[in-house]
Structure 1
Amino acid sequence: MARFFGWLFLIFLLGATYFWQPDFFQHSYSILKHGDIVSLAEYLRSFGAWSIVVTIILFIVMTFTIVFPFMILSGAAGIIYGLFWGVVISWTGEVIGAVVMFIFARYFFRQIIAGWITKSKYLKQVDDYSAANGFKALLIARLLPLAPSGIITAVAAISRISFKDFMLATIFGKLPPVIIKVLIGHDIVFAGENMTRLIVLVIVVIGVYVGLWWYKRHKDQNKVKY
């Protein structure tokens, strides 16, 4: 019964938020859909002193949608507030969004998933692993620059990772990717002035994924040998 009223409250809250400012969500969606970092920066700047709050709200909403890459909003934040404060605001927004989604998913879905876990030996092993090694696994996932943050958060929420481990892994793990996303998003717009840095950042991102692929391949080969 408590979850039923929780769903009702959530639906009411989302509906009230949308109907309070439908133009804001529709316009933001239109800009994000086209990946227009400059237009998004101009739109957010139009909110004046409230622009930081609006930016953080968008980060929270985007965590739940999973569809749009954070780089668009992070790049816009870098343009509006400068690289340092753009990173701080983007990191704050992503962390808050992850925490909100974690609490929501754990409260509404963990109990349902728990029934499936008890019936599956494999899922039970995965669940036990998340309880014992959740911090390390989540930290590694967070450090990936292009990883879908919302999906990672949802998976963590239905696992047995503690809230403390989730918070620490999210706080520390999100910072390096946020820096990369703000810089790349910013430098895409000002490519003429920052082409060298942009190329270096792209190479770094590619290097991270190539390194992970090589590590997994090497690990799989060793398993086959033994």
Structure 2
Amino acid sequence: MAKKISYILTATIILGLLIAYFTYPPFGDFINKSWEILLSKDEERIRDYFKGFGFWGPLAIVILMILQIFLIVFPSWLPMIVAVMAYGFIGGVLISVIGVFLASSLGYTIGRLLGEDNLAKILGKNKNKKVNNMVEEYGFWAIALFRVSPFLSNDAISIIAGMLTMSYRKFILATLSGIIPLAIAIGYFAEDPDTLKNGLYWIGGVGFVMYGLYIYVDRRKQRKK
């Protein structure tokens, strides 16, 4: 019963946000203006815009991080940079972690609502079985990698984890294991755009290599058994 209520609540929130965007001009204007300002790359303009919301500024950033699930071309790390620019290292890291926690939980719930049958239809039964096995065997570290690497699709992995009915506890722990180091790194490098860009590449690259080595070593051990 509790699961059904959570699914209904999530579906209601998603539908409500979409309806608000298309039918309530102030909300639609807020999203469109925020999008335009975020993509302007004007640090002072971005910082002043969100600070202009006062007490509601952090909430505005969290809302953007949640809505980012539906905006495929919108980089997931951009609101995290904005949070640090507007509220400093500690405030920015906290806002980023909370935002990703909520967005990931929503993505996971969407996946649960869609179900594994729909994933099988999209991928085919054979590929779905392989993906399922990978999630069961390497799911925790796969999700942690997706979180720590800024250039992989965070939202896709949340939805897939939900569709494959991975336990929420395992999913959210893996999410936090990856996103906290990324948020701290972004907070540390955010003041210098060039350094930040290089830092993001290094973080993503190192995480990907470590995950690849982990799978390689694990499979070699299994073959020797």
The one of 49, 53, 58 equivalent to 2:55 is 49
- Counterparts in 2 of 1:93-132, with a 5 A limit? 93-114=99-120, 120-132=125-137
Quick one: distance in 2 between partners of 1:144 and 1:161? Answer: 21
Quick one: distance in 1 between partners of 2:17 and 2:151? Answer: 30
Give the AA of the match of 1:16: A
Give the AA of the match of 2:15: I
Q: CA RMSD in A?
A: 3.6
Matched with 1:155 is 160
Contact 1:77-1:86 within 8 A present in 2 as well: yes
Cα offset, 1:72, TM superposition? 2.8
- Counterparts in 2 of 1:189-200, with a 5 A limit? 198=195
Contact 2:104-2:158 within 8 A present in 1 as well: yes
Cα offset, 1:182, TM superposition? 3.1
Quick one: distance in 1 between partners of 2:50 and 2:70? Answer: 20
Give the AA of the match of 2:164: S
Matched with 1:194 is none
Quick one: distance in 2 between partners of 1:8 and 1:80? Answer: 31
- Counterparts in 2 of 1:56-67, with a 5 A limit? 56-67=62-73
Quick one: distance in 2 between partners of 1:33 and 1:21? Answer: 18
Matched with 2:223 is none
Q: 1:186 to 1:110 in 2, by over 3 A?
A: farther
Quick one: distance in 1 between partners of 2:49 and 2:95? Answer: 17
Cα offset, 1:48, TM superposition? 0.8
Matched with 1:179 is 184
Q: Which string of whole-angstrom CA distances, capped at 9 and with x for unpartnered residues, describes residues 196-224 of structure 1?
A: xx37x82574375167459859x5xx99x
1:34 matches 2:46:
no
Look at both structures and tell me which one has the larger radius of gyration over its CA atoms.
1
Quick one: distance in 1 between partners of 2:107 and 2:40? Answer: 25
Quick one: distance in 2 between partners of 1:162 and 1:52? Answer: 29
Q: 1:15 to 1:52 in 2, by over 3 A?
A: same
Contact 2:50-2:57 within 8 A present in 1 as well: yes
> What are structure 2's unaligned runs of at least 5 residues?
221-225
> What are structure 1's unaligned runs of at least 5 residues?
192-197
Q: 1:99 to 1:207 in 2, by over 3 A?
A: closer
Matched with 2:202 is 206
Q: 1:61 to 1:7 in 2, by over 3 A?
A: closer
Matched with 1:87 is 93
TM-score normalized with structure 1 length: 0.75
Count of aligned residue pairs for this structure pair: 211
Contact 2:144-2:178 within 8 A present in 1 as well: yes
